Amino acid sequence: MSPPKFGKQFPHSVNYFNQQKMLKFIRSDLSQLNAYKAHPGSDSAEPVAMQFDRLDTNESPLDLPPEIKEKLAWTYQQVIETNRYPDGGHEALKNAIAQYVNESANLANSPFTAANISVGNGSDELIRSLLIATCLGGEGSILVANPTFSMYGILAQTLGIPVVTVGRNQNNFETDLEAAKSAITQTQNPPIRVVFVVHPNSPTANCLTAAELTWLKSLPEEILVVIDEAYFEFSQTTLAGQLLQHPNWIILRTFSKAFRLAAMRVGYCIAHPQAIAILEKVRLPYNLPSFSIAAALMALENRHLLLQSIAQTLSERTKMITALSAHSILEITPSATNFIYLRIKTDDSNSPVTFLTSLNQKLRNQGTLIRLLPNGLRITIGTAAENTRTLERIQSALQNESNYHSSASVSTLP
């Protein structure tokens, strides 16, 4: 939409939309901040065209089945009063989530109840609430191991919270534990108050290792450990059972991935009741729309049906990894989730960054969006048809890549 033309009424309006300098009332550090881009390369204000194969945001490629959508539409028409505020206490949803957490972690005696659950407008909201509850006002810094989910750092920066980063082992992507330990000892004013880990990590697709777990268990009670299990349904590996021994651990989960509800923005966290009580104080009163609450409840009621598609995603993942591994220039690492991470094997004379950027762009030109990262590419597992197209497009992009001709055979795609 083009800006309205105020012309004569507002003689200064010419400058209004062309203002280059930052408005003077904005916090100076925010001008440098790079916001999260859902689909980098496009103007994120615009919805990305449906005709793209969108393999860049780790969603499920499948919409809700029509019968569930119909039930949801019926709920919208017959039950939800749009003139009324939503249920601000989320009691029914928290009970259903607690039951799912107990069941999915095979926990005897159902230890988790609604008192252990808080829900957010996506787990992104919960990340922000956790930062507000722990680090705001100069009380703490956060620690992340890069590459990882970018929102921890972005949200911390928006709140003026320092972000300390360490690297990862380049073979198995384990956190550089020596660097992490020394960062915790050395970071003062403010000290590290929160460690964020992802299990399995995005973009590298690996679960936490035994050594990482030992380290997390050794962290003192004044450090909060956030274990982001956004991809739990794909990895089927959870630390929920260990939460009861560690009051300073919190698990984050989301309905945006395996439950196919990214559009509804529902995430949740599992934690000690005291931590939950603080999160409930920090959040906005009606943070979840009624429609989103209804959708999450319906997804949980129909979980067996919805989660059946995971088997197909995992077999498609095997298909992708096998096919991509046939390209000797691509380095594919194991994946515990619904995306794969690949890097480029080049000798010193070739720049991996240039190669990755070019491959990403070529795929985009052919209609496939994937995620370009500083040292690799992340590809979400899509439908069988999307994956086949992606493999063909990668094949074609590599065939055209002049660097590639000398070092690899291009006719090996199964």
Ligand X SMILES: Cc1ncc(COP(=O)(O)O)c(C=O)c1O
Binding site for ligand X (CB under 6 A): 58, 122-124, 149, 198, 202, 228, 230, 254, 256, 262, 267
Choose between 155 and 344: whose C-beta lies nearer to ligand X. Answer: 155
Nearest distance in Å: CB 375, ligand X: 18
**Is 341:324 a contact under the CB 8 Å cutoff?**
no
Reported residue count of the chain is: 414
Choose between 145 and 323: whose C-beta lies nearer to ligand X. Answer: 145
Q: Counting Cβ atoms within 10 Å, is residue 402 exposed (0-12), middle (13-18) or buried (19+)? A: exposed
Nearest distance in Å: CB 201, ligand X: 8
Give how far Cα 218 sits from Cα of 74, 207, 222, 339, 346, Å. Answer: 50, 19, 12, 30, 39
Choose between 212 and 401: whose C-beta lies nearer to ligand X. Answer: 212
Choose between 251 and 391: whose C-beta lies nearer to ligand X. Answer: 251
Nearest distance in Å: CB 306, ligand X: 16
Choose between 119 and 329: whose C-beta lies nearer to ligand X. Answer: 119
The dihedral region occupied by 189, where left means phi > 0, alpha psi between -120 and 50, and beta the remainder, is left
Q: At 131, is the secondary structure helix, strand, or coil?
A: helix
Largest separation between any pair of C-alpha atoms in the chain: 72
Nearest distance in Å: CB 228, ligand X: 5
What share of residues in the chain are helix, strand, coil (percent, to 5)?
40, 15, 45
For 182-221, b/e burial (b = at least 16 CB within 10 A) is ebbeebeeebbbbbbbbbbbbbbbbbbeeebbebbeebee
Choose between 142 and 391: whose C-beta lies nearer to ligand X. Answer: 142
- Strand 224-228 versus strand 192-198 pairing type: parallel
Can you spell out the DSSP letters for 10-39?
-TTHHHHTT--SPPTTS-GGGGG-----SS
Nearest distance in Å: CB 241, ligand X: 20
Nearest distance in Å: CB 172, ligand X: 18
Choose between 201 and 368: whose C-beta lies nearer to ligand X. Answer: 201
Amino acid 353 reads V
Choose between 151 and 326: whose C-beta lies nearer to ligand X. Answer: 151
Nearest distance in Å: CB 334, ligand X: 18
Choose between 215 and 231: whose C-beta lies nearer to ligand X. Answer: 231
> CA-CA distance, 88 to 49, in Å (whole number)?
35
Nearest distance in Å: CB 22, ligand X: 28
Closest CA to 68 of 245, 309, 254, 274: 309
Nearest residue to ligand X, by Cβ distance, number only: 122
Nearest distance in Å: CB 380, ligand X: 10
> CA-CA distance, 363 to 351, in Å (whole number)?
19
Choose between 97 and 323: whose C-beta lies nearer to ligand X. Answer: 97
Nearest distance in Å: CB 165, ligand X: 16
Name residue 252's beta-bridge partners.
228, 269
